[in-house]
């Protein structure tokens, strides 16, 4: 596709449930970023990949959060045993190495009830 | 840990230039200044970036001071559709990218 695609767009999870959020970056983009955005706040960095290598995961808030990009394209952000404070919009972005600026998806809005 | 400081909010009259300031006093020599904006319920949108020279594209102009410690994003003729949160970010190209709180720009008729 032409842009970064995220699915699902909306997810409602019961507290304690595991969720998986998918990101399809722009074809050929080497870099991939995940962010968490709470209501009224700026995006908070979670993790960053170059190809399949996870170069920085310092923003993941706990060991319940896990991200992978096994073949260097599609990425999945997994949250185990979801809690109410995990409710947020999860944004994915990708960029090529030569241009540097990132393109964002529309995000997945996660609501934990 | 955003490394930039922006005013929380600004207003601008429709048709006038909107000048959004950003302080980045600890910027390193290999860090670029990037600007993004986020319209309600959408993902952030890239606007412009620069290293030390002023830059212009179809959306905006970026003015970076000679010491590189601050910059200004200029929207030359603001429209109501430019109402958004504007983020100034400093980063090394192809490194991770961290957002601050941004400036909420409201364009008024």
Q: Closest chain A residue to B90 measured between Cα atoms?
A: A101
| Pairwise CB contact (< 8 Å): A91 & B49 | no
Task: Give the number of C-alpha atoms closer than 13 A to the C-alpha of residue A66, restricted to the C-beta side.
Answer: 10
Q: What is the pLDDT of residue B2?
A: 61
Q: What is the pLDDT of residue B3?
A: 87
Cα B75 to Cα B19: distance, rounded to the nearest angstrom: 7
Q: Closest chain A residue to B48 measured between Cα atoms?
A: A101
Mean predicted confidence (pLDDT) in B60-71: 96
Cα A51 to Cα A69: distance, rounded to the nearest angstrom: 7
pLDDT higher than 60, residue B1:
no
pLDDT higher than 80, residue B94:
no
The helix/strand/coil state of A7 is strand
Query: Which one of B42, B85, B96 has the shortest CB-CB distance to A33?
Result: B96
Q: What is the pLDDT of residue A111?
A: 98
Mean predicted confidence (pLDDT) in B38-51: 93
If you ran DSSP here, which 8-state letter would residue B80 be given?
G
Cα A46 to Cα B47: distance, rounded to the nearest angstrom: 22
Q: What is the pLDDT of residue B97?
A: 84
Mean predicted confidence (pLDDT) in B90-98: 82
Chain A residues inside the 8 Å CB shell of B100: 42
Q: What is the pLDDT of residue A100?
A: 73
Mean predicted confidence (pLDDT) in B38-59: 93
pLDDT higher than 90, residue B93:
no
Cα A53 to Cα A50: distance, rounded to the nearest angstrom: 5
Q: What is the pLDDT of residue A1?
A: 53
Query: Which one of B44, B93, B99 has the shortest CB-CB distance to A100?
Result: B93
Residues of chain A scoring pLDDT < 70? 1, 98-99
Q: Retrieve residue A40's tokens.
A: 């009224």
Chain B residues inside the 8 Å CB shell of A100: 32, 49, 93-94
| Pairwise CB contact (< 8 Å): A104 & B43 | yes
Q: Retrieve residue B46's tokens.
A: 């890239």
């Amino acid at each position: 596709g032409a842009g970064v695609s995220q699915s699902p767009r909306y997810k409602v999870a019961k507290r304690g449930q595991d969720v998986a959020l998918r990101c399809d970056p722009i074809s050929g983009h080497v870099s991939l970023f995940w962010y968490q955005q709470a209501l009224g706040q700026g995006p908070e960095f979670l993790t960053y990949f170059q190809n399949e290598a996870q170069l920085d995961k310092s923003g993941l808030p706990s060991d319940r959060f896990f991200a992978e990009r096994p073949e260097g394209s599609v990425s999945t952000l997994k949250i185990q045993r979801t809690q109410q404070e995990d409710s947020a919009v999860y944004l994915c972005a990708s960029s090529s190495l030569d241009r540097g600026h990132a393109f964002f998806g529309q995000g997945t809005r996660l609501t934990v009830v | 840990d955003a490394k930039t400081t922006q005013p929380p909010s600004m207003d601008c009259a429709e048709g006038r230039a909107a000048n959004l300031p950003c302080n980045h006093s600890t910027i390193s020599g290999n860090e670029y200044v990037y600007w993004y904006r986020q319209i309600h319920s959408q993902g952030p949108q890239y606007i412009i970036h620069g290293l030390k020279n002023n830059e212009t594209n179809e959306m905006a102009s970026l003015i970076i001071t000679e010491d590189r410690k601050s910059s200004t994003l200029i929207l030359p003729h603001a429209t109501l559709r430019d109402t958004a949160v504007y983020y100034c970010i400093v980063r090394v190209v192809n490194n991770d990218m961290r957002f601050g709180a941004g400036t909420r720009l409201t364009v008024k008729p």
